[in-house]
């Protein structure tokens, strides 16, 4: 079991460029999440999905888009990158939705927008 796999690990983008952060899990979890973590700050929820074809906004969704075509994959799309999107991005998955079970996190993607 690989758990939650994120790619790439590091990326530098220029302002206005676009990119997709990949996330895959092999635990057959219906629930998947994207968080961003800024220095000294807690994890902020960007988007989440409760199953293939169903996504919803979290606390900080502006500037991002997601899709969920399969149970395994939950990519995060950045359109027109801005310096404010410089952050570490974590993908996570869980068996249940409500915090009743643990969340499994990927290793993170460190993104710098210059």
Partner 1 sequence: SQKIEQNSEALNIQEGKTATLTCNYTNYSPAYLQWYRQDPGRGPVFLLLIRENEKEKRKERLKVTFDTTLKQSLFHITASQPADSATYLCALSGYSTLTFGKGTMLLVSP
- Measured from the CB of residue 73, what is the shortest distance to partner 1 in angstroms? 18
Residues in the interface with partner 1 (CB under 8 A) total 24
Q: Which of 13, 21, 46, 92 binds partner 1 (CB under 8 A)?
A: 92
* Closest listed residue to residue 47, CA positions, set 69, 28, 27, 62: 62
Task: CB nearer to partner 1: give 33 or 78.
Answer: 33
Nearer to partner 1, 4 or 21 (CB): 4
- What is the C-alpha separation between 84 and 70, in angstroms, rounded? 30
Choose, by CB under 8 A, the member of 46, 103, 111, 113 that binds partner 1.
103
- Residues of span 25-84 touching partner 1 by CB under 8 A: 33, 35, 40-43, 45, 48, 58
Tell me if 104 sits within 8 A of 97, measured CB to CB: no
**99 near partner 1, rule: CB under 8 A:** yes
Residues at the interface with partner 1 (CB under 8 A): 4, 33, 35, 40-43, 45, 48, 58, 90, 92, 97-108
């Amino acid at each position: 079991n690989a758990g939650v796999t994120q790619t790439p690990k590091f990326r530098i983008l220029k302002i206005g460029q676009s990119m997709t952060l990949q996330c895959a899990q092999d635990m057959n979890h219906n629930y998947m999440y994207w968080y961003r973590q800024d220095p000294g700050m807690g994890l902020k929820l960007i988007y989440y999905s409760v199953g293939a074809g169903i996504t919803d906004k979290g606390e900080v969704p502006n500037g991002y888009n997601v899709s969920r075509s399969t149970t395994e994959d939950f990519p995060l799309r950045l359109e027109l990158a801005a310096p404010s999107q410089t952050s570490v991005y974590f993908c996570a998955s869980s068996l249940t939705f409500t915090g009743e079970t643990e969340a499994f996190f990927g290793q993170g993607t460190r993104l710098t927008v210059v």
